[in-house]
Structure 1
Amino acid sequence: MGTGAKHRLVFVDRLLATLVHLRHAITHDVLACWFGVDRSTITRAIGEVRPLLAERGCTASPGVRLRTLAEVVDHLGGKTGIIDGTEIRVRRPAVGRKDRDTFISGKSRQNAVKTMVVTDADGRVLFCSPTRPGSCADITHARQLGLVKLLADGPTVEVLADAGYQGLGAQTGGRVVTPPHRKFKKNAPDWYEEMYERQRKAHSSRRIRVEHGIAHLKNWRALARHLGRREHISHTVQAVAVLLSHQQTADLIPARQV
């Protein structure tokens, strides 16, 4: 204890520098000028604080934090949750790396990583998964996270999802609800087109809150486009989710008291 280099920034300043970096994507050089320290000091401070924030877990209610997907499923027992995948642009891997093409998203045709976001029916963020390369499909990512087993063996939960998760409903006993399959690909009768559009819009209006939650996440500049190292993006995503969920929960407390 007490050995090694001493911090020139107290913990509060290190935390503040990390929050400013996540919220506004301020570079380490600028933060170093603001705090009157070397750039490496800011880099070390953010590298220490960011994992601590990520490990705190999303705030579901005052005093209740959710750190794993299993805890989220238990918390949603008897309620409705919404899942969706979102992509974050990253820098292209260097030439010659064997996994260079795995980061190319089939949807946006750009270098990106993907995370699965879980919200409640009101759009409050409950969980953000570790990131995967952009070429990973949404349904594959959900299976790798163990969502199928958690829903099949856990409490009764209704999970709303988009068409990218079609197939999970049969594997989870109908607990994952996706848009209806289109039965007629060509020359569909008018009555079917009208019914299909009505069902699709009804489902979309129920799961739109997860899009709002993702939009709030992307308001943090660190997630609009990640320009740092890709190995840090999982901690960045989860740290932002933790801070956002705490803010969303704090905003609800005065309204309930009134």
Structure 2
Amino acid sequence: MVIADLVTELGPVWQAQCDAELSDRPRRRAVGAGAKYKLVFVDRLLVTLVHLRHGVSHDVLACWFGVDRSTVTRAIGEIRPLLAELGCRITPGLRLRTLADVIAHLGATGQTGIIDATGIRVRRPAANRPGRNRFVSGKSRMNAMKALVVTDDRGQLLFCGEVRAGSVADITQARDAGLVDLLADTIHLEILADAGYQGLGAQTCGQVVTPPRERRGKYLEQVQWLMAHHEQARFEHSSRRMPAEHGIAHLKNGRALAQRHGRRDHLPDAIRAVAGLLSDQQAMHEHQLMAFPAGRAA
């Protein structure tokens, strides 16, 4: 069902893109003449889906589909940006493509959002190149790039993007994405965040909620009731944020994001493409639950 919907949505867009490329340059042959594609659109879509989901190399995919490796590389390079532009599906007629769309959706529905950042391991840049150390994540101690993830209170994926180098702090990534400016135009919106975003609450009039700061001191151990209350507040905040961790875990089921072996400049499109595919699955599952609620006879 999901693949059929993707063919319906992306097929006309891909065909229009191909026609535009043919008409942009002077031709001696009529449009449609010459050699035909060895991979039709549906096969190109399947190649890209298998690559993103299972991380299969281009050489193996070329053997499976009986084409040359360059054909697979070109097919993935065409379909991956189209999947990235789809955005995250919320309902059959609604997709969220930007962070502004997410904030507007949360404000209109009154839902609680959960924000977090996830790191994806990438290949280390070659030696003696400028900016080599900026991919080193100080938290995970590895070469990585991180993406900004927003889910609702049920763990449904609303946004994944704004990819930055691994050395960029979580709060800096959120500020660069324009989160503070977007929340300035909203009221009574609650977004849960972890301790890496402490400081955004004051800039957003308390709309970004972070856990209480960890208390340390020489005499705090003597006030047992205060420490117990403080730890309980931190635990409750962490429990409310747990759906975002589940959403990120499902996002990493795409083997292309578990550890990135390809080019780093293709990673943003790969992240957005996998996020869009995951949101399609979540929306379809939600629709099935509504159509066949628990306890209803088949």
TM range (shorter): over 0.9
In the TM superposition, 1:225-244 aligns within 5 A as: 225-244=259-278
Partner of 1:66: 96
Partner of 1:153, secondary structure, is: coil
2:207 pairs with one of 150, 157, 175: 175
Could you list the runs of 5+ residues in structure 1 that have no partner in the other structure? none
TM-score, L = length of structure 1: 0.97
Amino acid at match of 1:53: L
Separation in 2 of the partners of 1:19 and 1:238? 13
Partner of 1:53: 83
Could you list the runs of 5+ residues in structure 2 that have no partner in the other structure? 1-21, 23-30, 293-298
2:154 pairs with one of 116, 122, 129: 122
Partner of 1:129, secondary structure, is: strand
Does the 8 Å CA contact 1:130/1:238 hold for their aligned counterparts? no
Compute the displacement of 1:190 (Å).
1.6
Partner of 1:131, secondary structure, is: strand
Does the 8 Å CA contact 2:147/2:160 hold for their aligned counterparts? yes
Does the 8 Å CA contact 1:73/1:155 hold for their aligned counterparts? no
Amino acid at match of 1:101: N
1:158 and 2:186 correspond: no
Amino acid at match of 1:210: A
Separation in 2 of the partners of 1:122 and 1:62? 18
Separation in 1 of the partners of 2:55 and 2:188? 40
Partner of 1:195: 229
Partner of 2:158, secondary structure, is: strand
Separation in 1 of the partners of 2:263 and 2:142? 17
1:222 and 2:256 correspond: yes
Moved over 2 A (4+): 1-7, 182-187
Amino acid at match of 2:246: H
Compute the displacement of 1:5 (Å).
6.5
Q: How large is the Cα RMSD of the aligned pairs? A: 1.3
Separation in 2 of the partners of 1:54 and 1:15? 13
Indicate the percent of aligned positions where both proteins have the same amino acid.
Answer: 62
1:42 pairs with one of 67, 72, 95: 72
In the TM superposition, 1:4-15 aligns within 5 A as: 6-15=36-45
Amino acid at match of 1:253: H
TM-score, L = length of structure 2: 0.84
In the TM superposition, 1:9-28 aligns within 5 A as: 9-28=39-58
Separation in 2 of the partners of 1:5 and 1:90? 37
Does the 8 Å CA contact 1:25/1:221 hold for their aligned counterparts? yes
